[in-house]
């Protein structure tokens, strides 16, 4: 069985992230969505909220998708999941620069890791979690960009 880890902030999960999960499932048997944390920036409550929204947004994929938080080195985490494959999504050339830097760093730490960069559907190429938070914070309608569970979450804030 082939497993790939999809790491990110997912703050919150968007239809763009979902699109990458769906594409990754065409290449791998299972996708582990790994939500990164940083001890000083992310209180545990924020992480559990993000995990719960990801699980709801990806429920349609059943047990082919697992969602969990991680706070160790990505390469160590990926090994602990019994794989050496990482998937990331690409929207623009600036994403490419950022991803390439991350890959270079991680390849120095573990040269056996393989990275799969999947371009998103054109429909979501402008979409980011930051924009979603901004629009929701100003009372705008985000339903076109995220799962209904995420809409509901922001409507209660
Ligand atoms: P990070 O802070 O690690 O970049 P994100 O949650 O912002 O975490 O993104 C995780 C991954 O998902 C990254 O590879 C990013 O390029 C990708 N991604 C984010 N939004 C989209 C989108 N709209 N379409 C495709 N990929 C996306």
* Predicted TM-score of the model (pTM): 0.94
* pLDDT computed for residue 42 by the predictor: 63
Question: Which pLDDT tens digits describe the chain residue by residue (157 residues)?
Answer: 999 999 999 999 999 999 999 999 999 999 999 999 866 666 666 888 999 999 999 999 999 999 999 999 999 999 999 999 999 999 988 899 999 999 999 999 999 999 999 999 999 999 999 999 999 999 999 999 999 999 999 998 8
R_g of the chain computed on alpha carbons? 15
Closest by CA to 16, choosing from 141, 156, 134, 130, is 130
Torsion angle, alpha carbons of 64, 69, 74, 79, to 10: -50
Tell me how far apart the alpha carbons of residues 115 and 15 are, in angstroms, rounded to a whole number: 21
Ligand 1, closest atom to CA 11? 6
Concerning whether 50 is annotated as a catalytic residue, the answer is no
Alpha carbons 128 and 17: distance in angstroms, whole number: 9
Q: Which of 55, 79, 84, 91 is catalytic?
A: 91
Active site residue 41: yes
DSSP per-residue string spanning 92-139? SHHHHHHHHHHHHHHHHH-TT-EEEEEEPPGGGTT--HHHHHHHHHTT
10 CA: nearest ligand 1 atom? 6
Residues facing residue 49 across a β-bridge: none
Pocket test for ligand 1, best of 10, 12, 20 (most atoms within 8 A of CB): 20
- Give the Cα separation of 113 and 30 in Å (integer): 17
Structure tokens of 116?
């799969």
Nearest CA to ligand 1 atom 9: 8
């Amino acid at each position: 069985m082939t497993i790939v880890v999809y790491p990110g902030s997912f703050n919150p999960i968007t239809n763009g992230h979902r699109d990458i999960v769906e594409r990754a499932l065409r290449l791998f048997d299972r996708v582990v969505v790994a939500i990164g944390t940083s001890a000083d920036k992310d209180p545990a409550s924020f992480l559990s909220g993000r995990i719960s929204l990801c699980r709801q947004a990806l429920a349609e994929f059943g047990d082919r998708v697992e969602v969990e938080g991680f706070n160790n080195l990505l390469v160590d985490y990926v090994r602990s999941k019994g794989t050496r494959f990482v998937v990331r999504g690409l929207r623009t050339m600036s994403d490419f620069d950022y991803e390439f830097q991350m890959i270079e760093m991680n390849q120095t730490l573990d040269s056996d890791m393989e990275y799969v960069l999947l371009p998103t559907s054109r429909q979501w190429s402008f979409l980011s979690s930051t924009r979603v938070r901004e629009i929701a914070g100003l009372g705008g309608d985000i339903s076109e960009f995220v799962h209904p569970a995420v809409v509901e979450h922001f409507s209660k804030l």
